């Protein structure tokens, strides 16, 4: 059996997709959320840790709301700026 005809083999050959965990900053669009991902980087001169923030537009079928902690995964381009997809809501926001 060739690798192209076996569906299990095709999934194994795909590279691991990048995943990030962040907080939903905006949910004002339809099926799209903006996820804020914080990371700590070491300052080159002062050797202290500085918080850096990146914002990603992600496709959301699960219905995440502002303040939810979500896991996003890299996917095919869905629009001009949307290249991530929400795969799970890690923690719901406190009401």
In a domain, 72, yes or no: yes
At residue 7 the predicted structure's pLDDT band, cuts being 50, 70 and 90, is: low
Residue range(s) defining the domain that contains residue 87: 19-91
pLDDT digits (tens, 9 = 90+) for 25-75: 999 999 999 999 999 999 999 999 999 999 999 999 999 999 999 999 999
Question: Is the dihedral angle over the CA atoms 65, 38, 81, 71 positive or is it negative?
Answer: negative
Q: What's the CATH number where 79 sits?
A: 2.40.50.140
In a domain, 4, yes or no: no
Task: Give the closest residue to 86 by CA, choosing from 50, 35, 46.
Answer: 35
- Give the whole-angstrom CA distance, residue 65 versus residue 25: 8
Q: In this structure, what DSSP letter does residue 5 have?
A: T
User: How much of the chain is in helix, strand and coil states, percent to nearest 5?
Assistant: 5, 50, 40
- Domains held by the chain: number: 1
pTM for this prediction: 0.82
Per the model's pLDDT, the better-predicted residue between 73 and 13 turns out to be 73
In a domain, 14, yes or no: no
């Amino acid at each position: 059996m060739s690798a192209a005809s076996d569906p299990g083999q095709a999934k194994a050959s795909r590279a691991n997709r990048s995943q990030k965990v962040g907080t939903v900053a905006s949910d004002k669009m339809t099926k799209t959320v903006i996820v804020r991902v914080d990371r700590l980087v070491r300052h080159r001169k002062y050797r202290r840790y500085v918080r850096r923030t990146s914002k990603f537009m992600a496709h959301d079928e699960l219905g995440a709301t502002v303040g939810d902690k979500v896991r996003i995964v890299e996917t095919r381009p869905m629009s001009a700026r949307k290249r991530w997809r929400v795969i799970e809501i890690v923690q719901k926001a406190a009401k």
